[in-house]
Amino acid sequence: MTSWVDVICITVVFLSLIILSNYRVAAMIRIFAIQSFVLGLLPFFLHAFCISNRDVILGVVTMVLKAVLVPSILFWAIRHVSMRSEVKPIIGLSASIILGAMIIAGAFWVSLSLKLPGKPASDLILPCSLSTVLLGFMIMVTRTRAVTQVLGYLIMENGIFLFAVSLFDVMPVLIEMGILLDIFVAVFIMAIVVNHINEEFEKNPASVTFSKMGETF
């Protein structure tokens, strides 16, 4: 099943690059959900010939939490603030794609000098996880919307999760569940903050009008 693990690793990086090159927030959330679902399949292919209860629990929890629940919270947040796209990204579309490709190439080059304990299930796990973490960090620092910055953080966590799965046999399940819980808490807090911001704008429409006048001038 190594070939399927390779396909999953490449797909995760490819979807990260698509998110980086996209400005529509709803599309970014959907792609993140697909990426998380693909990651949820990874434990099943790592031990395809001997799937344990731990594999099933980790895969199912990942799919439910990161591919269904977290995107639902993010969709709820953007509906409450009427957000459709990133307004003023720091880096343009073409430059983002070029820089993202350079980051992937650099991650693969750096990973050649890094060694993991034991033999990983695939030689692509380390470079793809590093690429995903760096692409998520780039999204987080080059976007100005709170939701897209949270998406960047979530993509970074997907890269960390991909790396953690490479050490599947030595990493306690408690740590993996702790990572998933941290992500859920972070997105939940973000949704509360966005909701409070929206309520403040509704209470003080004059401040919103004033800000729009400032942008006009």
Q: What is the pLDDT of residues 105-141, one digit of tens each?
A: 999 998 887 776 666 667 788 889 999 999 999 988 8
**CA–CA distances in Å: residue 91 to residues 22, 55, 106:** 12, 39, 19
What is the four-CA torsion angle of 182, 185, 186, 192, rounded to 10 degrees? 180
Three-state DSSP string of 53-71: HHHHHHHHHHHHHHHHHHH
In angstroms, the CA 45 to CA 183 distance is: 24
Phi, psi of 211 (to 5 degrees): -65, -40
Q: What tokens were used for 80?
A: 């409450």
Lowest mean per-residue pLDDT among 66-75, 91-100, 175-184:
175-184
Give the containing element (helix H, strand E) for 171: none
pLDDT digits (tens, 9 = 90+) for 200-212: 555 555 444 434 4
In the chain the first and final C-alpha atoms are separated, in Å, by 60
Give 195 or 126, the one with higher predicted confidence: 126
**CA–CA distances in Å: residue 201 to residues 74, 192, 215:** 19, 14, 17
Coil/strand/helix, residue 1: coil
